Structure 1
Amino acid sequence: MPTPSRLRAAAVTATALLLSSMVAGCGDDAQNEDLTAQKLSWKDCPAPSQAEGGGSAPSPLPDGDQWQCATMKAPLDWDDPKGDTIDIALIRARASGDESRRIGSLVFNFGGPGGSGVSTLPAFGEEYAALRTRYDLVSFDPRGVGRSAGVRCENDQQLDAYFQQDGTPDDAVERTALLDSTKDFNSACEKHAKKMLPNVRTTDAARDMDLMRQVLGDDRLYYFGISYGTELGGVYAHLFPRNVGRAVFDAVVDPTQTSEQGSLGQAKGFQLALDNFAEDCTSKTEDCPVGDTAQDVKDRIAGLLESLDGKPIPGIFPRELTQSAATNGIAQALYSKDFWEYLTEGLEQAYAGDGKILMLLSDLMNGRNENGEYSNITAANISINCADDKPRYSTAYVQRRLPAFRAASSLFGDFLAWGMVSCTDWPVPGADDHPDVSAPGSAPILVVGNTGDPATPYEGARKMVDALGRGVGVELTYKGQGHGAYGSKNKCVQTAVNGYLLDGKVPAAGTVCS
């Protein structure tokens, strides 16, 4: 069964801490005096662990500099800061410019939740070259992720079966199978990661970031959050508003939504992205190979998924392409316009009875490599979401809500609605309905929304600006496609973001880039 919470790609809720940031900040600093004084030992980076996705050690940067890795100690439980500790894995690229112009460390979180920053940042090293002129580029595996006390649940063989499960049950037998699969997964998480599960909330990760800021030697946190990273950044700003330096939120999570509202918003967002894909394919001068009109493209996809529900086709041997795997693969391809050509090719092949490309896309979403090994992104994603999200949804409730989800998206509605049962039998209670990101007194935060974003719909940017509070959030709109804006290489967006992070120039609120 694919993990619809993973599809939400951060449109989830986090806990709100009902303490003033000043009290929390001072209390944590005083109690963790030894941890704030720790010295990091930076060394050449090893190859990523399996939990981080595997692969080779990061290649040198374009100027020949090596990526460096280190480990920071943090409390296992921030309510018991002098108790047990865990290791937080870090990576950095030293600033390339004149040391006299260096501002500090720019900390990245690329989202998920559950994504490894240690394995992700090197893939984007060149993309952030301009920012590296004045910052050390730093990222990390958040707690519960990768090498930072990564949560482990099921093994690779069990995960293969889990992701083949029918995620859109049609009758009582299929609903029981879905719930049983969910219970088995959640029980495995409790068995293998019992100590970590209560300690992977977004507030915990935010406190880790403030400790990181101090250990890195910065008076303020300079931050670039993408997708779920915008939620983490908002929670940090709420807890430590006076410690916020220059910060950018890109692909913005709506902090006012419950997990259900986030899933419903994503159903609409992915449907919009599918509409745009279909229009793009059929509007080109050459014939669109997967449909004659935009509606024909969508009708043929719907027909494919319906047929796969009863009769899967060969995928990557020995696995078959099921309805759920195909839906997952299509969603993965809609994250970026750069993937649309692979979606077209994958659909062509699937119509001819070959599911390899759609299965490869699904594997990419689920963190499965070509050797059949999974990263821990699914385990971490579900663990963080369920620790953050207070609601627990029954199958009866989901059934009542199906019409609303289907109205939002005939293709993705059922898939995202049934994903709400992921936390139903979770062993740890969720913290709250949605995060508190109010940050009075914070420095300005540049909030970048993309009108065509499927995973974090555009409306979330305005909601984040309003929730941060007057004088804090500064909204910038990018009229584009895909998840996020800075990575689109749009010059207007990059000029605005670089101008703020490098020179402190806050763009005019309401700036629009296209």
Structure 2
Amino acid sequence: MRLHRGRRAVVPSLLAALTLLAAGCTSDGGSDDEAAPATSTAPTEPTAEPIEWTDCNEPLQPLVAGRPGSERGLSFECGQIEVPISYEEPGGERLPLTLVRAVHPGQTDRIGSLLVNPGGPGGSGVDAAIGLALTLPEDVLRRFDLVGFDPRGVALSSPVECIPDETKDRLVASEPQPTSDEQLDDVFALAREVAEVCAERYESPAALGAFNTVDTARDMDLIREALGEEKLNYLGYSYGTTLGSTYAELFPDRVRAMVLDAAVDPDGDLIADAEARAVGFEAGFDAFAQNCTSLIAGCPLGPDPRRFVEEVMLQASQSPIPSSEEGETRQATPGVVLTAVQAALYDTRTWPQLSQSLAAARNGDSAGLFSLADSFSGRLEDGTYSNLLDANIAINCADTEEEIGTDEVRALAAEWDATYPLFGAGAAAGLYTCTPWEAERTPLPERDADGSAPILVIGTAGDPVTPLPGAVDLAEDLTAGVLLTWQGQGHTAYPKNQCVNDAVNAYLIDLVVPLDGLTCPA
């Protein structure tokens, strides 16, 4: 069972600090360190009280100090908001969501709050806000408070937790290119095992199905209200574009400005999306390989990086590769190798690390590969995991009623393995993940957001995770969608390119909408 998602995991040191942050983010309703939601009395209609912010500079200082952007002198605050577990019962039980707010010391002529989501699903918005506060253009930070929230079921917001750490280790290490009947039987058995343990943990399909995108979008509107904003300003990446477009569909008249970067295709079904991912990662690997072989100093992987990776995977299948990391007992299987490759393709800045790690693995040391794979899957230094994988599966499965049977997966695995030799079979195998999932489903709505203000959709020509056609489709589907294309490589564009930055900044600050179809060079 191979897992695919749109964003990177929370790094271990940050997760530890965020746990401290949550301890300081208590509201009148208290904090929630357990997976089960909190219970409190709620009004008959969902409303939101103003957020009581608490200074969080001290617990975050170790993470900010010394990093690029730390000289900005940002001020961090944390808070909570309680939302209905079910919007069909707005007066019923509620659960707390954790938020963080970053304020620039030079803020003038404040426009409002800019809410951010990093994707996943399962990525921490608190984590994202801290990182973006250090990297976004200061022109934007001087006009907006930057606000991140952990969506329901994610990180510090009543996290869905049901997959044992040992099972997550097996997920990462599992066969990445399953084509034989035996290999696919193992895929199906592992998917059923995950579904069963999560169903047992949450007891009812309604409880597990509460972690879905539609209700998270409704949560966002309560956050908007609690922030005192008449309309929403939003910046969403990858899966965050699905969340943002869902919000715009539900509340089109409450959008002031919305930037959807690395857009997920709203039109594809599960099979089309999985094949698009395989296509994207194959193209992303080719771009990585071309970059490596063009280096003046020479490519550590030789003249044919693809063949090099295949040889390392064969080596790992015959004899798993040990790690030089002190205390590490795991050995890299082909699943770890390809997970590391997939992780590095998200960002061109990790390409050198990937080539060096593959070369080291060929020589018998998998430490670099484990570093990449662990970051991607949310594995922490002590061998435990964040809830990234739990949330990713729970939310993805709650968002669809589609179920792909074993016979169709077998056929697609064979077909795609021949067409997309590195990533095809794994993409096909992942289609079975939600078939045995026992939870209520809340399918995503069709999204045209008719009546919304203009929405800026950004696609990257060389995005291996959410290929450019998805951004084209989303911009076309949205009545007020405007497409911006960056001719770059990697996942997401803003704020990596000055042309993109200028267009997004002018839109967020002055509501100057770029020309539909604008293309920014790499």
C-alpha deviations, 1:435-487, integer Å up to 9, x for none?
41111110001111100000000111110011112xx1111110001101013
1:413-445 CA-to-partner distances (Å, cap 9, x unmatched) read: 11111111111210014443x641111110001
Deviation (angstroms), 1:353? 1.8
Query: Is the CA contact 1:153–1:186 (under 8 Å) kept in the aligned structure 2?
Result: no
Residue of structure 2 in register with 1:377 after alignment: 388
Give 5+ residue unaligned stretches, structure 2. Answer: 10-41
2:344 is the alignment partner of 1:337: no
1: CA distance between counterparts of 2:92 and 2:63?
33
Instruction: Check 1:37–1:179 CA distance in 2 against 1; reply closer, same or farther (3 A cut).
Output: closer
1:449 maps to what in 2? 459
Correspondence for 1:478 among 479, 486, 508: 486
Return the alpha-carbon distance in structure 2 between the equivalents of residues 308 and 37 of structure 1: 53
Distance 1:55 1:217, change over 3 A: closer
How far apart, CA to CA, are the structure 2 residues paired with 1:302 and 1:498?
A: 43
SS of the aligned residue for 2:461 comes to strand
Q: Give the AA of the match of 1:446.
A: L
- Contact 2:153 2:391 (8 Å CA) reproduced: yes
Once the two structures are TM-superposed, the CA of residue 57 in structure 1 deviates from its matched residue by 6.4
Deviations 1:79-119 (A, max 9, x none): 111100000111111354455x1111100000000001112
- List gaps (5 residues or longer) in structure 1: 11-30, 49-53
Q: Which amino acid aligns with 1:256?
A: D
CA 1:425/1:47 → structure 2, altered by over 3 Å: closer, same or farther? farther
- CA distance in structure 1 between the partners assigned to 2:320 and 2:472 by the alignment: 42
Instruction: Say if 1:164 and 1:78 are closer, same or farther in 2 by CA, change over 3 A.
Output: same
Out of 157-166 and 473-482, give the one that drifted further: 157-166
For 2:487 and 2:228, how far apart are their aligned partners in 1? 38
- How do 1:263-302 and structure 2 match up within 5 A? 263-292=274-303, 296-302=304-310
Secondary structure class of the residue paired with 1:498: helix
Partner of 2:475: 465
- The Cα of 1:55 is off from its aligned counterpart by 11
Match of 1:177 among 186, 189, 198: 186
CA distance in 2, matches of 1:207, 1:378: 23
Secondary structure of 1:67's counterpart equals strand
Match of 1:199 in 2: 210
Match of 1:256 in 2: 267
In terms of mean alpha carbon deviation, does 67-76 or 310-319 score higher? 310-319
How far does the alpha carbon of each residue in 1:169-220 deviate from its partner, in whole angstroms, 9 at most, with x for none? Answer: 3433333332222222222222223464111111101000011111110110
Question: 1:102, 1:422 → 2: CA distance?
Answer: 45
- Supply the distance in 2 between the matched residues of 1:133 and 1:33 (Cα, whole angstroms): 38
Q: Match of 1:451, SS? A: strand
Greater relative CO (CA pairs within 8 A, separation 6+)? 1
Whether 2:144 is the aligned partner of 1:132: answer no
Task: Give the number of equivalent residue pairs.
Answer: 480
* Residues 1:486 and 1:57: Cα distance change in structure 2 (over 3 Å): closer
Decide whether the 8 Å contact of 1:73 with 1:85 is kept in 2. yes
Q: Is residue 2:87 matched to residue 1:104? A: no
The structure 2 residue matched to 1:324, chosen from 311, 335, 349, is 335
**2:498 match:** 491
1:16-415 correspondence runs (5 A): 35-45=46-56, 62-99=71-108, 101-128=109-136, 129-194=138-203, 196-292=207-303, 296-315=304-323, 317-415=328-426
- Closer, same or farther in 2 for the Cα pair 1:346/1:5, shift >3 Å? same
Structure 1 residues 188, 357: CA separation in 2 closer, same or farther (over 3 Å shift)? same
Distance (Å, rounded) in 2 between the aligned partners of 1:58 and 1:44: 15
Q: 1:282 to 1:61 in 2, by over 3 A?
A: closer
CA contact 1:452–1:458 (8 Å) conserved in 2 = yes
2:8, 2:375 within 8 Å by CA — same for their partners in 1? no
Rounded to whole Å, the distance in 1 between the matches of 2:454 and 2:211 is 28
Give 1:501 shift.
0.3
Code of the residue aligned with 1:106 in structure 2: it is: L
Give the one of 438, 451, 472 matched to 2:448.
Answer: 438
- Cα distance between partner residues in 1 of 2:285 and 2:239: 22
> How far apart are residue 393 of structure 1 and its match?
1.6
Do 1:35 and 1:73's aligned partners in 2 also have CA atoms closer than 8 Å?
A: no
| Larger deviation, residues 402-411 vs 491-500 | 402-411
1:162 & 1:7 partners in 2: Cα distance?
Answer: 17
Looking at structure 2, the residues matched to 32 and 213 of structure 1 have their Cα atoms a distance apart, in angstroms, of 18
Q: Following TM superposition, by how much is the alpha carbon of 1:311 offset from its aligned partner in structure 2, in angstroms?
A: 2.7
Moved more, 337-346 or 279-288: 279-288
Change (3 A) 1:206 1:372: same
- Equivalent pair of 2:140/2:505 in contact (CA under 8 Å): yes
How far off its partner does 1:138 sit?
Answer: 0.3
Contact 1:7 1:331 in 2 (8 A): no
How far the C-alpha of 1:389 sits from its partner, in A, is 1.8
Q: Distance in 1 between matches of 2:322 and 2:61?
A: 27
CA RMSD, aligned part only?
2.3
Tell me the distance in 2 between the aligned counterparts of 1:130 and 1:371.
40
SS at match of 1:339: helix
Task: Give the secondary structure class of the aligned counterpart of 1:426.
Answer: coil
With structure 1 as the length reference, what TM-score do the two structures score? Answer: 0.88
Cα deviation, 1:6-39, whole Å, max 9, x if unaligned, reads: 36889xxxxxxxxxxxxxxxxxxxx967753412
Task: Specify the alignment match of 1:503 in structure 2.
Answer: 510
Q: Quick check: 1:44–1:69 contact (8 Å CA) kept in 2?
A: yes
Structure 1 CA distance for aligned equivalents of residues 133 and 170 of structure 2: 35
Cα distance in 2 for residues equivalent to 1:83 and 1:303: 56
**Residue identity in the other structure for 2:477:** A
